[in-house]
Chain A
Amino acid sequence: MNAQPRTGKSASAVGRANKTRAGWAMSSPALAAILLFFVLPAIASLFLSFTDFDIYALADIENLRLVGLANYQRLLENPLFWKAMTNTLLLVAFGTPFIVTLSLFAAMLVNSRWLKWRPVWRVALFAPYVTTLVATAVVWRYLLHTRYGLLNYLLSFFGVPPIDWLGSPTASLPAILLFVGWKTFGYNMIIFLAALQTVPRELDEAARIDGANWLTRLRHVTLPAIGPTLLLVSVLTVAAMFQLFAEPYVMTQGGPAQSTVTILYFMYEEGFKWWNLGSGAAVAFLLFLCIMAVTLVQLRFAKRSGAI
Chain B
Amino acid sequence: MSLRRWSVTLLAALVALVTIAPLIWMVSVSFMARGEAAQFPPPLWPASPTLENYHLLFGTFGVGHFLFNSILVSTLATGLALLFTIPAGYAFAKLRFKGRDAIFRMLVAALVVPGQIGMLPLFLELKAMGLVNSYAGALVPWLAGIFGIFLVRQYCLSIPDEMLEAARIDGASEGQILRCIVLPILTPIIVTLALYVFLSSWNDFMWPLIVLADQGLYTLPVALAASSRQNVQDYEIMMAGAVVTTLPVLILFLALQRYYLDGLLAGSVKG
> Which residues of A line the B interface, CB within 8 A?
15-16, 18-27, 29-31, 33-34, 36-45, 48, 53, 106, 109-110, 112, 114-117, 120-121, 123-128, 130-136, 138-143, 147-150, 153, 182, 186-187, 190-191, 194, 232, 235-236, 239, 242-243, 245-246, 249-250, 253, 264, 267-268, 271-272, 277, 280-281, 284-285, 287-288, 291-292, 295
Contacts and interface: CB of A to CB of B under 8 A. Distances in A.
Nearest to A17: B97
Nearest to A233: B268
A41 to B, nearest CB: 3
A30 B83 CA distance: 9
B144 A34 contact: yes
Interface string B135-160: 00000110111100100000000000
A22 B177 CA distance: 11
Interface in B35-57: 37-42
B9 A116 contact: yes
Interface in B10-69: 11-13, 15-16, 19-23, 25-26, 29, 37-42
A147 B40 CA distance: 7
Contacts of A124: 16, 19-20
Nearest to A109: B12
Nearest to B96: A19
A181 B107 CA distance: 30
Contact of B221 (A127, A133, A143): A133
B175 interface: yes
A141 B233 CA distance: 11
Residue with the greatest number of chain A CB neighbours at <10 A, chosen from B113, B118, B124 = B118
B166 interface: no
A113 B148 CA distance: 35
Nearest to A263: B116
A54 B170 CA distance: 61
B9 A187 contact: no
The bracket for how many chain B residues form the interface is: 35 or more
Contacts of A272: 123, 210
A283 B66 CA distance: 32
6 contacts: A22-B174, A29-B87, A36-B144, A127-B23, A142-B29, A284-B118
Given A19-B97, A45-B118, A123 B206 contact: no
Interface in B200-214: 202-203, 205-206, 209-210
B143 A30 contact: yes
B105 interface: no
Contacts of A39: 110
A7 to B, nearest CB: 15
Interface string B228-271: 11000001001101110110011001100100110011001001
Contacts of A21: 97, 174
A124 B29 CA distance: 20
Nearest to B87: A26
B191 interface: no
A37 B122 contact: yes
A15 B165 CA distance: 10
A288 B117 contact: yes
B44 to A, nearest CB: 8
A190 B242 contact: no
A242 to B, nearest CB: 8
B26 A139 contact: yes
A107 to B, nearest CB: 12
Nearest to B243: A135
Contact of B9 (A117, A139, A140, A141): A117
B134 to A, nearest CB: 15
A190 B4 contact: no
Q: Which 8 A-B pairs have the closest CB atoms?
A: A41-B118, A23-B97, A22-B174, A23-B95, A26-B87, A44-B121, A30-B88, A33-B143
Contacts of A264: 116, 206
A131 B250 contact: yes
Interface string B95-118: 111101001000100101111111
Nearest to A147: B40
A174 B93 CA distance: 45
Contacts of B143: 30, 33, 37
